[in-house]
């Protein structure tokens, strides 16, 4: 976030609405001094504070991040305007952000939200760069953009993983490709599959950002003792390190260094050493993607959807392959229940 641009925008928007510093601050539930510091870029406010200011000014938060003179790369469909479809992932990222922030811009119809690109003032070299920009409103560093590109590439396909298998089973019934992708998404969401990345971050937060090493160890050992799984470790196929984790570990570290906050990476490394030592289990793709995304400021509930954004290419490729030589996938089941004949009691006697 560029505090200078945010501050300038807030001041301009406040003044254009004829609001004094005192009145705007009161509406935002903060002191005049705090608002003044935000406007003059003397503090770096959290997004929740900026949201309060946006609400006070009656504007959408995203307006704070647009450089003066720059046209936003998107516009929202307003009430009465014909909605236009925008199939591009980055715009979906912006739409998510707008919805997640509860659309404080009152003249935007939240439920008919669509986003259409206008003249793009920013030339993007990477999908990752654009994705983060649309999601956060700020241009990512080259490293963050590269990390996102690599993450999206690494997640794109992975043989017959559970969600791809589900998508192929659905496709084999000759349902439509959208429904096959939905089957993939529903399967990916589970915490033993793509849902694990969000679970990893929730675990790190539960342990605590500033937790001493002993607390990390006792937390992990407690899970072992209770025979609970540690999200982000183990794999049905790999018995050594998931090769995707090798890259994501590196980005987690580098982005942490860039942000001046290596706590999440350090905690992840310590957990990795412990799990390797005690259980001989290695990190999978989800383990280091968690701290990497968190360091990039991405909301935890987007981790698995980002996985899905990437994996859609794998699912659809598999669906096309399935359809090219299709046969219904219908395994048989071996009955192992009680032998025939069984006793049966009518419902009203149970
Ligand atoms: C991915 C996963 C489902 C693979 O499961 P699997 O192939 O059935 O694993 P296995 O049955 O071969 O596991 C062997 C043993 O290791 C244990 N184990 C596996 N993953 C574990 C983990 N993450 N934490 C703790 N123990 C684990 C199992 O409990 C089992 O122990 P047991 O023999 O004492 O019962 C499993 O490792 C897991 O649940 N991981 C956590 C979720 C996750 O990160 N998923 C994303 C995968 S990319």
CB burial readout 41-79, b (16+ within 10 A) else e: eeeebebebbbbbbbbbebbbbbbbbeeeeebbbebbee
Please answer whether residues 170 and 183 qualify as being in contact, where contact means their C-beta atoms are separated by less than 8 angstroms: yes
From 108, 123, 138, give the residue that closes a domain.
Answer: 123
Q: Is there an atom of ligand 1 within 6 Å of 194 CB?
A: no
Tally the domains of the chain: 2
Residues 96 and 210 occupy one common structural domain: no
Residues 103 and 152 occupy one common structural domain: no
Residue 310 lies in a domain: yes
Q: Is there an atom of ligand 1 within 6 Å of 279 CB?
A: yes
Residues 90 and 140 occupy one common structural domain: no
Residue 343 lies in a domain: no
Please answer whether residues 290 and 230 qualify as being in contact, where contact means their C-beta atoms are separated by less than 8 angstroms: no
Residue 256 lies in a domain: yes
Is 0.85 topped by the overall pTM? no
Tell me, what's the pLDDT at 51? 83
Residue 24 lies in a domain: yes
Alpha helices in 63-137 (DSSP H): 89-100, 127-136
DSSP H/E element including 13: helix 3-16
Would the pLDDT of 43 be above 80?
Answer: yes
Would the pLDDT of 115 be above 60?
Answer: no
Q: Which atom of ligand 1 sits closest to the CA of residue 161?
A: 48
Residue 337 lies in a domain: no
Please answer whether residues 11 and 19 qualify as being in contact, where contact means their C-beta atoms are separated by less than 8 angstroms: no
Q: Which atom of ligand 1 sits closest to the CA of residue 236?
A: 7
From 60, 88, 123, give the residue that closes a domain.
Answer: 123
Would the pLDDT of 121 be above 70?
Answer: no
Using the 8-state DSSP alphabet, how is residue 108 labeled?
Answer: B
Would the pLDDT of 62 be above 90?
Answer: no
* Structural domain span for residue 241: 124-328
Residues 175 and 191 occupy one common structural domain: yes
Pick the more confident residue, 50 or 228: 228
Residues 65 and 188 occupy one common structural domain: no
Pick the more confident residue, 258 or 119: 258
Residues 281 and 270 occupy one common structural domain: yes
Residues 20 and 60 occupy one common structural domain: yes
Cα angle for residues 13, 19, 25 (degrees, 5° grid): 90
Tell me, what's the pLDDT at 45? 86
Residues 107 and 131 occupy one common structural domain: no
**Catalytic machinery residues:** 235, 286
Q: Is there an atom of ligand 1 within 6 Å of 195 CB?
A: no
Residues 193 and 217 occupy one common structural domain: yes
Tell me, what's the pLDDT at 30? 96
Nearest to 100 by CA among 135, 130, 70: 135
Q: What is the CATH number of the domain that holds 181?
A: 1.10.230.10
Tell me, what's the pLDDT at 83? 36
Residues 145 and 289 occupy one common structural domain: yes
Residues 103 and 196 occupy one common structural domain: no
Mean pLDDT of 71-77: 44
Q: Quote the strand ranges of 52-130, DSSP E.
A: 74-76, 115-117
Q: Where does the pLDDT of residue 123 fall: very low under 50, low under 70, confident under 90, or very high at 90 and above?
A: low
Measured CA to CA, the distance from residue 156 to residue 174 in angstroms comes to 23
Residue 350 lies in a domain: no
Residue 336 lies in a domain: no
Q: Whose C-alpha lies nearest to ligand 1, atom 2?
A: 235
Q: What is the CATH number of the domain that holds 11?
A: 1.10.260.40
Q: Where does the pLDDT of residue 283 fall: very low under 50, low under 70, confident under 90, or very high at 90 and above?
A: very high
Q: What is the pLDDT of residues 309-327, one digit of tens each?
A: 999 999 999 999 999 999 9
From 88, 123, 158, give the residue that closes a domain.
Answer: 123
Nearest to 174 by CA among 313, 329, 311: 329
Mean pLDDT of 296-303: 89
Tell me, what's the pLDDT at 216? 98
Mean pLDDT of 231-259: 96
Q: Where does the pLDDT of residue 113 fall: very low under 50, low under 70, confident under 90, or very high at 90 and above?
A: very low
Residues 40 and 189 occupy one common structural domain: no
Q: What is the pLDDT of residues 85-110, one digit of tens each?
A: 333 444 444 444 454 444 444 333 33
Q: What is the pLDDT of residues 141-178, one digit of tens each?
A: 999 999 999 999 999 999 999 999 999 999 999 999 99
Q: What is the pLDDT of residues 190-201, one digit of tens each?
A: 999 999 999 999
Ligand 1 centroid, distance to 220 Cα (angstroms): 15
Structure tokens at 185: 């998404």
Most confident of 15-24, 46-55, 265-274: 265-274
Ligand 1 centroid, distance to 235 Cα (angstroms): 6
Mean pLDDT of 131-147: 84
Tell me, what's the pLDDT at 1? 59
Residue 151 lies in a domain: yes
């Amino acid at each position: 976030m560029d505090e200078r641009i945010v501050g300038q925008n807030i001041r301009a928007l406040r003044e254009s609405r004829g609001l004094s510093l005192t009145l705007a601050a009161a509406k935002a539930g903060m002191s005049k001094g705090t608002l003044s510091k935000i406007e003059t870029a003397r503090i770096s406010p959290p997004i929740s504070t900026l949201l309060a200011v946006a609400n006070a000014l009656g504007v959408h938060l995203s307006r704070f991040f647009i450089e003066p003179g720059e046209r936003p790369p998107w516009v929202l469909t307003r009430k009465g305007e014909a909605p236009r479809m925008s199939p591009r992932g980055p715009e979906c990222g912006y739409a998510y952000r707008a919805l997640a922030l509860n659309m404080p811009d009152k003249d935007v119809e939240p439920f008919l939200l669509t986003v259409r690109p206008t003249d793009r003032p920013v030339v993007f070299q990477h999908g990752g760069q654009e994705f983060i920009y649309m999601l956060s409103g700020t241009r990512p560093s080259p490293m963050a953009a590269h990390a996102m590109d690599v993450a999206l590439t690494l997640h794109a396909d992975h043989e017959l993983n559970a969600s791809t298998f589900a998508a192929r089973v659905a496709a084999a019934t000759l349902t439509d490709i959208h429904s096959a992708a939905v089957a993939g998404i529903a399967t990916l969401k589970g915490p033993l599959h793509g849902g694990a990345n969000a679970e990893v971050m929730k675990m790190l937060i539960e342990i605590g950002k500033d937790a001493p090493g002993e607390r990390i160890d006792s937390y992990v050992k407690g899970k072992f003792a209770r025979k609970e799984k540690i999200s982000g470790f183990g794999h049905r196929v790999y018995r050594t390190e998931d090769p995707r984790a090798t890259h994501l570990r590196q980005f987690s570290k580098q982005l942490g260094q860039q942000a001046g906050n290596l706590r999440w990476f350090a905690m992840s490394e310590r957990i990795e050493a412990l799990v390797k030592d005690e259980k001989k289990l290695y990190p999978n793709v989800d383990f280091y993607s968690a701290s990497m995304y968190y360091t990039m400021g991405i909301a935890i509930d987007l981790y698995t959807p980002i996985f899905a954004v990437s994996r859609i290419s794998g699912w659809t490729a598999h669906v096309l392959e399935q359809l090219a030589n299709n046969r219904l996938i219908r395994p048989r089941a071996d009955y192992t229940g009680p032998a025939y004949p069984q006793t049966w009691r009518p419902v009203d006697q149970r």
